[in-house]
Amino acid sequence: MAVNFNWDFELTEENLAAEIAKAKEAGKKANATEPRAESAGYDEANDLIVIRLKNGAIFSFPPQLAQGLVNATPEQLNDIWISASGSSIHWESLDVDFGITELLAGIFGTKAWMSELGRKGGEKTSSAKAKAARENGKKGGRPKKNAPLKS
């Protein structure tokens, strides 16, 4: 497999300064438009990971939702640090990383992890779910997919 390199770029002081300026501008734009963490920690009293964003918003979630944090001790959960850009958080002792954007989107692990969370959530029962099941049972069970609606 051939790899094409751009050898036309000459590394000079001027070109380097221009590239650094472009990178700084891209960083400013990302800081202004993307969620960035200002602080993060573990709230043991409420069993929540709490992330304060630079825009003032606060996001929290129970560690049981996140892949790699389920069996962590409070000490391990407190061992959290934020990347220099504020775009991710990391637990060194657990070797666990999450992007802030992904957490805000509700992505707490791999596709397989998220699928398992959904399956477990579907097993949960509530009074509303039990009532809906009873009502569906009176009507002959769960409606068929793509079944025409009756008026």
pLDDT for res 149: 65
Q: How far is CA 81 from CA 64, 88, 143, in A?
A: 19, 9, 48
- Reported as a single tens digit per residue, the pLDDT across 76-86 is 999 999 999 89
Distance CA 48, CA 25 (A): 35
- Domain map of the chain by residue range? 37-120
Q: Pick from 63, 20, 21, 19: which is nearest to 41 by CA?
A: 63
pTM: 0.63
Rounded to 5 degrees, what are φ and ψ at 42?
A: -110, 125
> Is residue 120 scored above 90 in pLDDT?
no
Task: For residues 100-119, give the mean pLDDT.
Answer: 88
Q: Of 79, 37, 83, 44, give the one whose Cα is nearest residue 62.
A: 44
pLDDT at position 5 is 59
Q: Which residue has the higher pLDDT, 83 or 122?
A: 83
pLDDT 10s digits, 11-69: 788 888 888 899 888 878 877 778 999 999 999 999 999 999 998 999 999 999 999 99
Between CA 27 and CA 15 the distance in angstroms is: 18
Pick one of 3.30.2020.40, 3.60.70.12, 3.20.20.70, 3.90.230.10 as the CATH number of 37-120: 3.30.2020.40
Q: What is the DSSP string of 85-105?
A: TSSEEEETTTTEEEEHHHHHT
